[in-house]
Structure 1
Amino acid sequence: MQRLVMIVGGFYSYAAHQITHAAPSHIMSIPGCTPDQYQELAEAEGDGEVEWSRSLLKHYVGVLQAAGALYAIRKGDSQFEAYADNFEAILITSVLGVYHVLVNHVDPQGNCRMGMEVEFLIRKILGHSLHIQELVFSWPMRPWSEEHTRGAFSSLKLPELHLLATRDESMKSRYGARRVEKIFEQQLALVVQSLGFYVVSTRTGEATVDLVCISSDPASPYTFLLEAKSSTHPYELPTDDRRALSEYIDDVRANLTTAPPLAFVLIVGGSAKEGIPAKLNRLELDSGVPIRFTSAQNLASLREALIGPTPATLLKKCILRAKGVVTTQEFQDIHKEVEARTAAQERLVRSFLSGAR
C-alpha cells in the first residue's frame, strides 16, 4: 500500500505541474490519461480498497482543470471566458469532493483504515486544492482603476445581447423577468451609438418603436427606427405589431420634419420565424419604407469585429440590399468593406510618411 500511495502521489504532483503550467489551449488535457480513459475511470464502480484513490483522482483533476481555465481567463485569455461561471462551479464542487474523500475515509480522531500514508496523501491533496482555489480567486477577474468613472459604455455587455433577445433564464434571474425587455433595449441603444448614431429612446411597452437612430455622418444623413423584440420564440411580426409600426412610421414622417429622411426600419430580435420575409415585404409596400429584421447576435458580432464607428452609408447599403432578413453574410460584408478601407488608409499614410523622410 505504501508503494501504491507513493506512485499515486507522484502522479498527482506530475499532473498538477503539467496542467497548471500548460498553454491555455492545452489546459484541459490530462497528463498520461486520454479524455476517454479519464471518463471511464470517473464512471467506474469503486473497488473497496482503491475507491478512495479513484474518487480522489477524479475530484483533484477537476480542481486542476478548472483552476487552469480560470487562471487563463484572469490573465486575459478570452477563449474560455464564456464558461467562467461553469469553471468556478466545477472548481468549488471538485474541492468539496476532495474534502468528502477525507471525511469518508478518515474519522474525527484522524484514523484511516487504509493507513497513515493514505491519510497523509488525502490531507496533502486537500490542502493543495484549497491553496489552488485561493490563488485563483485572489487574482482579479476584471481589474478596475479607482480613477475610472463608470459610464454608459462600461455597461455594454455584448455577450448578453442574444440571451436578452431570447429571454434566456439566466437573464431573467439576473435582471428580473420584467426588466429583460428594457435592458435589451438599453444594450441595443449602446451598440447603435457605438456604431456612430445619435439614439433617442421612446417609451418601452407602448405602441411606438423603441429607438430613433440618426446618423452622425454629415456625408450620409438619414434616420432609421429600431424595434427591439425580446421573446423566447422566433419573431413572426404579428398583426398588432404591423399596425403599430405602420402608424408610427406615419407619425415620424409627419412630425420629425427637421430630422434627416427616414431610410428604413430595423426589427432586432433573437431569431425570425420562417415566412417573415413575405410579411415584411407586405408591410414595406403598405408603409413605403424598407422594413428589415436581423438577429441581436448579428449586431453584437458586428460591434466585436469593428474598431470604431461604422460608415453610415455602408450600413445603410448592406441593410437595404437584404431581402427581408439581414443575415450574417450582410454584416460580414460590412466588416470586409471596413477592413478594405482601413487597409487603404494605412497604405496612404505609410506612403506619405515614407515620402517625408
Structure 2
Amino acid sequence: MEMIKNTYRNQFIVMAILFIFILITFFLSLNLGHIKIAPLEVIQTLFGSGTSENKLVLFDFRLPRMVIALLIGAGLGISGAILQGVSQNGLADPGILGINAGAGLAVVIFIFFFQGSMTSLGTLSIFMMPIFALIGGVFAAFLIYTLAWKGGVTPTRLILVGIGINAAFGAGLIIFQLKMNPNDFMQATVWLSGSIWGANWKFVLTVLPWILILIPFTMYKASSLNVLNLGDEMATGLGVAVEKERRILLLTSVGLAGACVAVGGGISFLGLVAPHLARRLVGSKHQVLLPATALIGALLLLVADMIGRNLLAPSEIPVGLVVSALGAPYFIYLLIKVN
C-alpha cells in the first residue's frame, strides 16, 4: 500500500513539474521574438496597461500561436499514444505511418479546388479544413491497415506499409503543389513542413473543439487501451470487443491528428517521442500516461516553436523541422533497440 501511495505521489510530482515547465516556457516565449518585450511589460500588457504595440504583438500574434502550439502538441501526443496502444507497436506515430500525409493531402486538395489561394481562406473554409483532414486521415488509416493485414498486423509490416503510404501521399502532394501558382506553392511547402501558419484566434477556435472533445474521450477509454496492451486473446477473454474498441480508438487518433495537421501542417515524430517519454516518467498505465503525454507533447511543441521563431530571427524555421531534428535521432535509436 505504501509503495502504491509513493507511485501516485511521484506521478503527481512529475505532472506538476511538467505543468510548471509549460508555464515557464510560455512566459519566456511571450518575451522572445523579433520584437523583444521585457517581462514587466508583458505582465502589464496582459493586465491591460501595456502599449498598443505590445498589445498587438502579444494578443494578435504570439498568444494565439502559442495556444495553438499547446493544443497541437497535446493532440499529436495523445494521437501517437493511441496508435501505440492500439497497434501494440512502440514505433507507431501519425506522421511516420502516413496519417498526417493523408490528412495533409486532403487539405491541399481542398485548398486547390475550393480556394485557389491559401491567403484568401474564409471563416467557413477554416472550419472545414479539419473535416477534410479527418477524411484524408481516415482514408490513409484504412489503406494502411488493409494492406498490412495478413492474418493479423505485425509491428514491422505496419511500419513498412505506413512508410510506403506516406511516400505515396507525399508524391500526390507534390503533384498538386506543382499545379499551384508560385506563391501558393511556397506557402503550401512551408505549411507541410510543419508551420503554425494560422496564428490567429480563428484557427484556435478551429482546433479547440476537436481537442476538448477527443482528448477527454480518450481519457475515458484509457482502461480499454490498458486491456488491449495485454494482447487480443487476453482482451477477448476479459470481455472486450477488441475490433470494435480498436476501430473507435483508431478513429479518435485520426481525428486528433487530422485536426492538428489542418492547422499546424505535417509535424512528425511528436506523436512518437511524447508517449515514450511519458512512459519512462510515469509508467504504462494509460490513466496516467495519457495526461502526461499531453503535457509533454504541449511542452515539446511550445519549445520547438520558440526555437524556430528565435534561432534565425527575423527568419523563421518551421516548427515541424525543429521537431524532426529532435525526434529523428530518437526514432533511429528506437529502431536499433527494437531490432
Structure showing greater radius of gyration is 1
TM-score past 0.5 threshold: no
Structure with greater strand percent: 1
TM-score bin, normalised by smaller chain: under 0.3
TM-score when normalising by structure 2: 0.25
Structure with greater helix percent: 2
